[in-house]
Structure 1
């Protein structure tokens, strides 16, 4: 059946634009995690307050994503992407004018609204540009924007702060390419919904779309996996630079660049190779792609745990183990994202992605930085009391932050369990989706 599915002649050109927008998406949202220590010192913030910067962004991102995702299922996806890109770029520039902690958070929420428009519409487009047997590779290329955005941010933001003598400068510079790229999206050729499917697709309005999505068993496991994985990912992105500065005594520039290698460069390998391998496995076994992801996530949890067990003298071992663990964790995206396309009919894909992202970010991404920040403050005070001290020093802050990050391998392990359970129900749900499309196309 898949052999009769068609790929859009504009597929690769549009995918490149989607990749570039995704790169800017993650570049812009990563800036606060890199300048976290200068902000902490300027406004005298706790780790919980620092964590809430990321949490506020993800909360509004998740809430806004549901109506914007539904809009992407019934409206013009290219215009949604174009205007969303314009909005989040404009608010990124406004972040440079923040005068205190609360104004900074409010502007970050504006960035979140703009970025919430992007992922559901972009993933829906990919589903209509590429047939099922090529989607993992297409998603892998699209998701390369994540590690490349991180790499670009971690390798340049510290240098920009040093060059301009202010943490505000990167926000102004980052806004420019986003506004320019938005123009191109107004002129792309948007494919028809279901254009890449092997059977005809009904264009009738779907009643009770969210209930329809939640009636699929595999979708429940995928949603839970998104919650735990984003908890880990956002906690890492929020605090790894700070950990390297506090616990391993790195400068801002060195800590940012090392983080770029650990969570960024590794993604280039993980997503490129992972997408190719996942497509090959999918051709042999429908559920094999998700099982492959579960195995990789299990390995990731072990490697990250071993990395955190390294003392401050063994920073190289820490970096190598953490980097390898994060490399294999990227296979989550190349296995889970295509699976959503395979179990959801085209008219509901943006809604499904928005629902998935709502839980992924509201209960995962928002909780990760906040919970780790709270636990870091708690363990910092515990370290102080254990030492018999009366004041919190930078040494106690280093210990508290380091020990709080043991939550990361735990949540990655939980993700591997959920993805494994999704693989057990995937085949029946994928076959049901094909039957639904065949019957509706008659």
Structure 2
């Protein structure tokens, strides 16, 4: 008992480190979304160009994630995380030296390579630190880094820009804690693969790992759900501050703090309470966790749609509805991420996460900001033509950006459908994985 107790305590200590690294992960990647308007005015950029900043980061993140995910299944995960954290923090500092739009995008791609090393290795570690019935809570705590990273960024970056008089200052400041935290990972004790499973895990390398992962039907539905959910999440995170400034006439600081409440504070509730509920439901029904996620996402899509129907005078109603919708959407992580662990054997979990991330980021996360930005530019020109104007104005840009965001509730509702379909094949795939482990395959 004492040994199990000590092991449990050590698992939670590692999880706390992973949480802080995840917080910095999302803090660093969120900075450009907050300073988007100062950059737009300084370099005279379109919304498509602004969207490409996020898309370029996401594309390189997805591509680099595949080989780094395989490396996490065969190499030392703590070193992968430690070096990755140091690399993305260093590139974050370099972003402050960007002299034009192209150099800014190029450095963001460097940040993407560093961050791509993190999620597959971290999720693989969690799978080996916590047994199945505790994973939703562990993933929920790990993923708290997402909303807290957003909250910290949205609550501080605007103030830092105002205090230093430059949008460059936050990049230099953000790099310091990441470099310091990276050192700690080199000293943790890495668990054996499959340590949290109830049966002995074979240590031989599986043949054709990618093909083996893609033979699991549940993984296909989960990949599609990641595609649509990240389309919505990355588009909102890229343009919400800008929308509040243009459409609702907020200052940078006020827009950033409001966004922090809408997409950040809500996540604290969604991930903690949602993770607890998901684990409780999973104990009663194998597929109950995914059904709960599907229902939460369906209601989320409806609330987001209602928020966009509010006029510019009803900014409070807009914020409350969008915040409630985003709160429910966080159940995606606590329901879907543990499901991946439950249908994928330990030797393939980092590979599965890398495949999942590559697909959802390349086709979802990368597309979201670029598609919404492009649609915003088109609807902006349409608004100008319909008004009979001959010159572009900020009013038309506000209308174009607002109307382009109607894509968000559509993709969230599609996510609900894909999560529901994943629930239908989950039990069969989870049981098959358990049988294969028991047989030593």
Q: TM-score range by the shorter chain?
A: over 0.9
Query: 1:282 and 1:123 mapped to 2: Cα distance?
Result: 19
Alignment of 1:163-174 (within 5 A): 163-174=163-174
Q: Offset at 1:138?
A: 0.2
Q: Distance in 2 between matches of 1:333 and 1:362?
A: 19
Q: Which residue of 1 aligns with 2:62?
A: 62
- The CA distance in 1 between the partners of 2:377 and 2:436, in whole Å, is 51
Secondary structure of the 1:313 match is coil
Residue 8 of structure 1: how far off its partner (Å) = 4.4
Q: Are residues 1:368 and 2:368 paired?
A: yes
DSSP 3-state at the match of 2:313: helix
* Structure 1 Cα separation of the partners of residues 391 and 436 of structure 2: 64
State the match for 2:51 in structure 1.
Answer: 51
User: Is 1:236 aligned to residue 236 of structure 2?
Assistant: yes
CA distance in structure 1 between the partners assigned to 2:265 and 2:323 by the alignment: 9
After superposition, residues 304-343 of structure 1 pair within 5 angstroms as 304-343=304-343
Instruction: Please name the residue that 1:138 is paired with.
Output: 138
Distance 1:188 1:154 in 2: 31
Match of 1:279 in 2: 279
Moved over 2 A (4+): 6-9
TM-score, normalised via structure 2 length: 0.98
Within a 5 Å distance, the mapping from 1:35-434 to structure 2 comes to 35-434=35-434
Q: Distance in 2 between matches of 1:207 and 1:271?
A: 36
Q: Distance in 2 between matches of 1:16 and 1:8?
A: 13
CA distance in 2, matches of 1:51, 1:431: 42
Where structure 1 has 5 or more consecutive residues not aligned to the other structure, the ranges are none
1:21 aligns with 2:21: yes
Gaps of 5+ in 2: none
**Deviation per CA, 1:246-290, whole angstroms, max 9, x where unpaired?**
000000000000000000000000000000000000000000000
Checking the alignment, whether the CA contact within 8 Å between 1:301 and 1:410 is kept in structure 2 is: yes
Q: CA deviation at 1:153?
A: 0.1
Contact 1:7–1:131 (CA<8 Å) still a contact in 2?
Answer: no
Q: How does the TM-score come out when normalised to structure 1?
A: 0.98
Shift of 1:9: 4.3
Once residues 392 and 242 of structure 1 are traced to their aligned partners in structure 2, the CA distance between those partners, rounded to angstroms, is 17
| Equivalent residues, number | 438
